[in-house]
Structure 1
Amino acid sequence: MSKIRDTDYLTLSTRVRAMETRLVTRERMERMLDARTDEEAVKILTECGYEELPALTNAGLDDLLSKARAALYRELSTAAPDRRVVELFQMKYDYHNAKVLVKAAAIGAEPDRMLMEGGRWSPARLRDAFQRDSLGDFSEPFRQAVLRARETLNAGNDPQRADFVLDRAYFAEMADTAKAVGSPFLQGYVRLLIDAANLRSAVRAARIGKGPDFLRQVLLPGGNVDVSVLSSGRGADLAAVFRAGPLGEAAAAGAALTSPGSGELTAFERMCDDAVMHYLEGARLIPFGEQSVIGYLYARESEFTAIRTILSGRMAGLDSDTIRERLREAYV
């Protein structure tokens, strides 16, 4: 592939800036939280280009977000000068679907209900290829990971080990793709995702008394913080390890939660996600280039999560303050 320059993104960057005006901003989230009825809350989404939802149900919400996600990736994958930038964000749905298929096959369950749209390959295509044991048309890292995960589960191991196999492959394929694209901004994003995943794993491992052997299984290479530094199993050291980076505040909060019964992880999890959002916000300072697409894709993914959090919370009868505590920072 010939080298793609930032000027190749000029038209798309201008288009993305216009699309950002329809994002579900924090102000719109607050209006959804304060809406008197579910109908009023859902109606706010139509301002942002979402389809109308006649009645708020779990099935209706799933369908609404699934269609929006499919439309997002369909539009940007055809418009981006380097499609791999968009595919990197789609990978999580492919690997999610792989986990569903591997586990469903192991117990003889029907996987369709748990499969998600939005990946590089449709759930139907992936399911059919998996059931025919014919994954040759998919990326080699993905194919190999699915085979290893299936073998791991068929050997009678803990299903969590199969998840570890797929998670490791997912982050490795993202890192390789970011490197191939040649975007320092995209590579920095992936490294930060890996750091956040490793920080979460280190905190959770400390809380349940797991030591270095367990950490070496779950920690992912390729982040800004070397795995060997984190595998000591000393949760209290996390604040020092991450102090100088974007996850410093989250790590300090996590270090205080490493003892059993030391508190809920909700705020810590939110701080990890907010650190990634702060990094992506830098894309808005760059007038044109792949950064605008990367930032917008992350903003939309965060938006889907926020919509689900708000509307699911309303359906569950939660009060606005409780839902608000679970929301992450918005891109705009």
Structure 2
Amino acid sequence: MPFPAGSSLSTPNSPLSSKGGNILSHQIKDIDYLSISTRIRAMENRLLTRERMDRMIDARENGEAMKILTECGYPEDRGGGLEGVLAQARADTFRDIAGAVPDPRLAEIFQLKYDYHNAKVILKAQAVGADPERLLLAGGRYDPRELLEGWRREELQGCSEEFQRAMAQAWTLLRESRDPQQADLLLDRSCYQEMERLAKALGSPFLLGYVRLSVDVANLRTAVRAARMGKEGDFLRRVLLPGGNVSQQTVASARADTLGEVFQSGPLAQAAQLGAKVALPGGGSLTAFEKACDDALTAYLAAARMVPFGEQTVIGYLYAKELEFTAVRTIFAGRAAGLDGDTIRARLRQTYV
């Protein structure tokens, strides 16, 4: 189901809209972020600290834990449960930041993954004749239900050309191969390529560094999982993503026990050392390795807190909110499973503040 470039899907947050897609007529400078940077410093005071997370973990009931979220600026539960609260908070965050920064594409870097998640859900549901709506996530550049309806009508105007092309190619691949993993990989590649394009267009070395480190994290995780399944070499060359600090060829050529050497000079050194251990037979749980990967990204972005004003403060805050949403899910999932406080705390990632 390919879509011509002129097809139509109306979305208010489209990167091709007059607000989101035009190249600004002046060179953006750090001083242009002075106002939003000042606001963000104040907003950081409402982020979930470790102390607030501890209170949520130790709360006697979920209602008490939810109250702590409202103290941090989250909306009240209006019947959608925790996911409804998080979806609203996510949408509010992106809308607020996009309307306050010199170029709203800065927020889109963090919205892309929701669009591509929704693309995967829509394509897989169509392939098996299922209804995808309950699995769609809000927070992307495009309204998920409008995206679904646009796909069904073969009209996707407003979506980026990369996104339209990726959905069409992934659908063709899914129909021909019957392999959802291949379609997912194609969409993942497009997602990271769009992130890289936006980061370069915004002229932010800090943002581009985040994108490249994100690719490295994804590739390191893939390499470790592949090694645990006994799949390396040619398989890795097909599934690794381009655009990282460490090339696909370098990662694919490494043995499981030498992954630590491949990443030893960068921020993933500790994670790679753990990955090299768990990649081997009997190497243990992936939990500590996964946590080290996430913590490496957090450590990189936490450097933004040392910058008084500039796009770094915005990027750091948006990542902090994403990290926070994950922490909230981890806490409530642990509570629902009846886990003790120490076990839940062990699963939490490093905090931004």
Shorter-chain TM range is over 0.9
Q: Distance in 1 between matches of 2:349 and 2:92?
A: 23
Match of 1:297 in 2: 318
How far is 1:316 from its partner?
1.9
What does the per-residue CA deviation read over 1:89-110, in whole Å, with 9 as the maximum and x for residues that have no partner? 0000000000000100100100
> Is the 8 Å Cα contact of residues 125 and 131 (structure 2) preserved in structure 1?
yes
Q: Which amino acid aligns with 1:176?
A: R
> Is the 8 Å Cα contact of residues 202 and 233 (structure 1) preserved in structure 2?
no
Tell me: CA distance 1:312–1:54, structure 2 relative to 1, closer, same or farther (3 Å).
Answer: farther
Q: Answer yes or no: is 1:29 the counterpart of 2:53.
A: yes
Match of 2:4 in 1: none
Q: Which amino acid aligns with 2:323?
A: S
Pairwise mapping of residues 191-230 of structure 1 onto structure 2 (< 5 A)? Answer: 191-230=212-251
Q: Distance in 1 between matches of 2:92 and 2:113?
A: 17
1:17 to 22, 30, 41: 41
Tell me: CA distance 1:237–1:329, structure 2 relative to 1, closer, same or farther (3 Å).
Answer: same
What does the per-residue CA deviation read over 1:260-304, in whole Å, with 9 as the maximum and x for residues that have no partner? 332110110010000000000100000000000000000000000
Q: Which amino acid aligns with 1:87?
A: E
Q: Secondary structure at the match of 1:256?
A: helix
Q: Answer yes or no: is 1:140 the counterpart of 2:161.
A: yes
How far is 1:54 from its partner?
7.8
Q: Distance in 2 between matches of 1:312 and 1:63?
A: 15
What does the per-residue CA deviation read over 1:102-123, in whole Å, with 9 as the maximum and x for residues that have no partner? 1001001001000000000110
Q: Answer yes or no: is 1:113 the counterpart of 2:134.
A: yes
> Is the 8 Å Cα contact of residues 240 and 248 (structure 2) preserved in structure 1?
yes
Which piece of structure 1 moves more, 68-77 or 226-235?
Answer: 226-235
How far is 1:182 from its partner?
0.4
> Is the 8 Å Cα contact of residues 215 and 241 (structure 2) preserved in structure 1?
yes
- In structure 2, the gaps of 5 or more residues are 1-23
Q: Secondary structure at the match of 1:79?
A: coil
Q: Distance in 1 between matches of 2:183 and 2:282?
A: 28
1:280 to 288, 298, 301: 301
TM-score scaled by structure 1? Answer: 0.97
Q: Distance in 2 between matches of 1:312 and 1:53?
A: 17
Q: Distance in 2 between matches of 1:211 and 1:76?
A: 42
Q: Distance in 1 between matches of 2:99 and 2:63?
A: 34
Pairwise mapping of residues 169-188 of structure 1 onto structure 2 (< 5 A)? Answer: 169-188=190-209
Q: Secondary structure at the match of 2:303?
A: helix
Pairwise mapping of residues 236-247 of structure 1 onto structure 2 (< 5 A)? Answer: 236-247=257-268
1:60 to 48, 65, 81: 81
Q: Which amino acid aligns with 2:154?
A: D
Match of 2:64 in 1: 40
Number of residue pairs aligned between Structure 1 and Structure 2: 329
> Is the 8 Å Cα contact of residues 246 and 263 (structure 2) preserved in structure 1?
yes
TM-score scaled by structure 2? Answer: 0.91
- In structure 1, the gaps of 5 or more residues are none
What does the per-residue CA deviation read over 1:182-212, in whole Å, with 9 as the maximum and x for residues that have no partner? 0000000001100000000010011101121
More helix as a share of residues = 1
Match of 1:271 in 2: 292
How far is 1:233 from its partner?
4.9
> Is the 8 Å Cα contact of residues 228 and 280 (structure 2) preserved in structure 1?
yes
How far is 1:156 from its partner?
3.2
Q: Where do 4+ consecutive residues of structure 1 move more than 6 Å? A: none
2:186 to 165, 185, 203: 165
Q: Distance in 2 between matches of 1:27 and 1:168?
A: 38
> Is the 8 Å Cα contact of residues 92 and 119 (structure 1) preserved in structure 2?
yes
Q: Secondary structure at the match of 1:3?
A: coil
Quote the sequence identity (%): 58
How far is 1:319 from its partner?
1.3
What does the per-residue CA deviation read over 1:163-185, in whole Å, with 9 as the maximum and x for residues that have no partner? 00000100111011101100000
Q: Which amino acid aligns with 1:85?
A: L
Q: Secondary structure at the match of 1:216?
A: helix
Match of 1:87 in 2: 108
1:322 to 320, 330, 343: 343
How far is 1:38 from its partner?
1.9
Match of 2:31 in 1: 7
Q: Distance in 1 between matches of 2:170 and 2:146?
A: 19
Q: Which amino acid aligns with 1:72?
A: T
Pairwise mapping of residues 65-80 of structure 1 onto structure 2 (< 5 A)? Answer: 65-80=86-101
Q: Which amino acid aligns with 2:232?
A: G
